[in-house]
Amino acid sequence: MHVVTKPSPRTKNASAPSQGEAESDTSAPTINTSSEQDGPVWRDPLEHPSFITTSPTTTMSQEDLYPNSFSMALQSPLPLTDRGSFASQLEASLLATNMTAASATLNSSTSASSSSQGLRSTMTSTAESTSMEDSKGDLHSEETKPTTSVPSNSSEPAEEDKSSRTSTDKPSHHHAHSPSHAHSRDSSVHSPPPIVKETLDACITVSPTGVLQVKQYELRRIIGQGAFGIVNLGVDVNTGIKYAVKEFSKAKLRKKDRQNLFRLGHRGRGPGRRGPAVPAEEEKSPLDLIRGEIAILKKLNHVNIVKLYEVLDVAAEDSMYMVFELCELGALTEVSVGDKPGKIFTDSECRDVFQQMVLGIEYLHEHDIIHRDIKPDNLLRSADGTLKIVDFGVSEMFTKKGDDMIKKSAGSPAFMAPELCRSHGEVSGKPTDLWSMGVTLFCIRYGRLPFKSGMSLELQKMINEDEPDLGDEQDPRFRTTITRLLEKDPSKRITIDELRNDPWLTDDGRRPLISKDENTQNAVLEVTDDDLRGAVQQLHGLFRVLKAVYKFKQLRKSPSPSSRTSSRDRREKAAGEPSNLSLSPPLLDSPPSEPADDIVMPAGEMSDSLLAKIDALNVQRDPEELEDDDDSVSKSSPPFAVAVADQQQERSATPQEFVVQASK
Ligand SMILES: Nc1ncnc2c1ncn2[C@@H]1O[C@H](COP(=O)(O)OP(=O)(O)OP(=O)(O)O)[C@@H](O)[C@H]1O
DSSP output for 186-229? -S----PPPPPEEESS--EEE-TT--EEETTEEEEEEEEE-SSS
CB-based contacts of 199, cutoff 8 Å, min separation 6? 2, 3, 4, 163, 215, 310, 311, 312, 313
Residues 345 and 238 in one domain: no
Same domain, 290 and 357: no
Whether the per-residue pLDDT at 610 is higher than 50: the answer is no
Higher pLDDT, 385 or 206: 385
Residue at which a domain ends, from 525, 540, 570: 525
**Interacting residues of 426 by C-beta distance below 8 A, sequence separation 6+:** 405, 406, 407
User: What's the domain count of the chain?
Assistant: 2
Mean per-residue pLDDT of the chain: 60
CB within 8 Å of 258: residues ≥ 6 apart: none
Q: Look up the CATH number of the domain holding residue 362.
A: 1.10.510.10
- Identify the bridge partners of residue 225 per DSSP, sorted by sequence position: 230
Mapping DSSP to helix (H, G, I), strand (E, B) and coil, where does residue 598 land? coil
- Does residue 36 belong to any structural domain of this protein? no
Interface predicted TM-score (ipTM) of this complex, two decimals: 0.96
Q: How confident is the model at residue 332 (pLDDT cuts 50, 70, 90)?
A: very high
- The ligand 1 atom at the shortest distance from the C-alpha of residue 325 is 1
E strands, 507-644, in order:
599-600
* Confidence band for 581, pLDDT divided at 50, 70 and 90: very low
For residue range 290-299, list pLDDT tens digits in order: 778 888 888 8
Residue 550 lies in a domain: no
Q: Is 342 in the pocket of ligand 1 (CB under 6 A)?
A: no
Rounded distance from Cα 197 to ligand 1 centre (Å): 20
Q: Which domain holds residue 432?
A: 331-525
Query: Is the Cα torsion angle 606, 608, 610, 616 positive or negative in sign?
Result: positive
* Under 8 Å between Cβ of 425 and 363: no
- Which protein residue has the closest C-alpha to ligand 1 atom 4? 327
Which of 295-299, 471-475, 518-522 reaches the highest mean pLDDT?
471-475
* Residue 380 bridge partners (DSSP): 331, 388
138 part of a folded domain: no
At residue 264 the predicted structure's pLDDT band, cuts being 50, 70 and 90, is low
Indicate whether 346 and 298 sit together in one domain. Answer: no
Establish whether residue 224 lines the binding site of ligand 1, counting it when its CB lies within 6 angstroms of any ligand atom.
Answer: yes
Could you confirm whether 622 is annotated as catalytic? no
Q: How far is CA 472 from each of CA 74, 435, 440, 513, rounded to the nearest angstrom?
A: 22, 22, 19, 28
CB 238 within 8 A of CB 43: no
Boundary of a domain, candidates 525, 549, 572: 525
Pocket test for ligand 1, best of 99, 568, 629 (most atoms within 8 A of CB): 99
What residues are paired with 396 via a beta bridge? Answer: 370
Task: List beta partners, residue 387.
Answer: 381
Query: For residue 317, is pLDDT > 50?
Result: yes
Residue 294 lies in a domain: yes
Which range is most confident: 134-143, 330-339, 554-563?
Answer: 330-339
- Per mean pLDDT, which range of 373-377, 505-509, 617-621 is the poorest? 617-621
Residue 4 Cα distances to 196, 347, 378, angstroms: 10, 48, 30
Torsion of CA 445, 297, 392, 484, to 10 degrees: 40
**42-82 pLDDT, tens digit each:** 333 333 333 222 222 222 233 332 333 332 222 222 222 23
Statement: residue 552 has pLDDT above 90:
no
Distance CA 548, CA 559 (A): 16
* Nearest alpha-carbon partner for 369 in 300, 417, 310, 314: 300
- CA-nearest residue for atom 30, ligand 1, is 224
State whether the Cα torsion 270-275-276-279 is positive or negative. Answer: positive
473 versus 644: the higher-pLDDT residue is 473
Q: Do the domain assignments include residue 227? A: yes
- In Å, what is the CA distance from 448 to each residue of 193, 313, 469, 647, 663? 37, 40, 10, 24, 23
Contact 392, 371 (CB under 8 A): yes
DSSP string for residues in 387-447: EEE---TT-EE-SSTT--EE-S--S-GGG--HHHHH-SS-EEHHHHHHHHHHHHHHHHHHS
Residues with Cβ within 8 Å of residue 463, at least 6 apart in sequence:
416, 417, 418, 421, 451
pLDDT at position 502: 98
- Tell whether 88 is covered by a domain: no
Higher-confidence position of 444 and 101 = 444
* Known binding residues: 246
CATH number of the domain that residue 252 is part of:
3.30.200.20
206 Cα–ligand 1 center, Å:
24
Which residues lie across from 271 on neighbouring strands?
none
Question: Is 202 contained in some domain?
Answer: yes
393 lines ligand 1 (CB under 6 A): yes
Whether the CB-CB separation of 338 and 82 falls below 8 Å is answered with yes
Residues 292 and 413 in one domain: no
Please give the share of the chain, as a percent, with pLDDT higher than 70. 44
Calpha distance 272→257 (Å, rounded): 13
Query: Residue with the nearest Cα to atom 20 of ligand 1?
Result: 226
From the annotation, which residues make up the binding site for ATP?
Answer: 246
Interatomic CA distance for residues 119 and 576, integer angstroms: 8
CA atoms within 13 A on the CB side of 515: 5
How many Cβ atoms sit within 10 Å of the Cβ of residue 475? 14
pLDDT of residue 285: 65
Q: What's the CA gap between 38 and 26, in Å, rounded?
A: 15
DSSP type of residue 180: G
Which of 460, 491, 525 corresponds to the end of one domain?
A: 525
Q: Are 511 and 357 in contact (CB under 8 A)?
A: no
Mean pLDDT, residues 495-519 taken together:
97
Residues 484 and 358 in one domain: yes
If asked whether residues 302 and 366 sit together in one domain, one would say no
Statement to judge: residues 296 and 383 lie in one domain: no
> Is the same domain home to 380 and 503?
yes
- Please state the rounded mean pLDDT for residues 438-461: 95
pTM: 0.58
Could you tell me if residue 442 is inside a domain?
Answer: yes
330 in helix, strand or coil? strand
Backbone angles phi, psi at 366, to 5 degrees: -60, -25
| 395 and 439 inside one domain | yes
Q: What per-residue confidence (pLDDT) applies to 6?
A: 31
pLDDT band at 422 (very low <50, low <70, confident <90, very high): confident
Name the active-site residue from 169, 201, 373, 502.
373
- pLDDT of 652 higher than 60: no
DSSP 107-136: -----HHHHHT-------BTTSHHHHHHHH
**How many Å lie between the centroid of ligand 1 and the Cα of residue 357?**
18
What atom in ligand 1 is closest to the CA of residue 102? 29
CA distance 392 to 307: 11
Tell whether the model's pLDDT for residue 100 goes beyond 50: no
Q: At what angle do helices 250-264 and 623-634 cross, to 10 degrees?
A: 50
Mark whether 352 and 403 lie in a shared domain: yes
**Inter-residue contact 17 to 192 (CB < 8 Å):** yes
Q: Is the shortest distance between the CB of 390 and ligand 1 below 6 Å?
A: yes
**What mean pLDDT do residues 140-147 have?**
33
d(CA 305, CA 395) in angstroms, rounded, equals: 13
State the pLDDT at residue 519: 96
Instruction: Name the closest-CA residue to atom 15, ligand 1.
Output: 226
Rounded to whole angstroms, what are the CA distances from 296 to 270, 386, 390, 397, 646? 8, 21, 12, 7, 38
Q: Is the CB of 327 under 6 A from ligand 1?
A: yes
Predicted confidence (pLDDT) at residue 462 exceeds the cutoff of 80: yes
Return the SS3 of 31.
strand
Task: Report the nearest-CA residue for atom 16 of ligand 1.
Answer: 226
Amino acid type, 92: A
510 lies in the same domain as 434:
yes
Residues 399 and 470 reside in one and the same domain:
yes
Across residues 171-184, what is the average pLDDT? Answer: 37
Q: What is the CA radius of gyration of the chain?
A: 24
Q: What is the pLDDT of residue 193?
A: 56
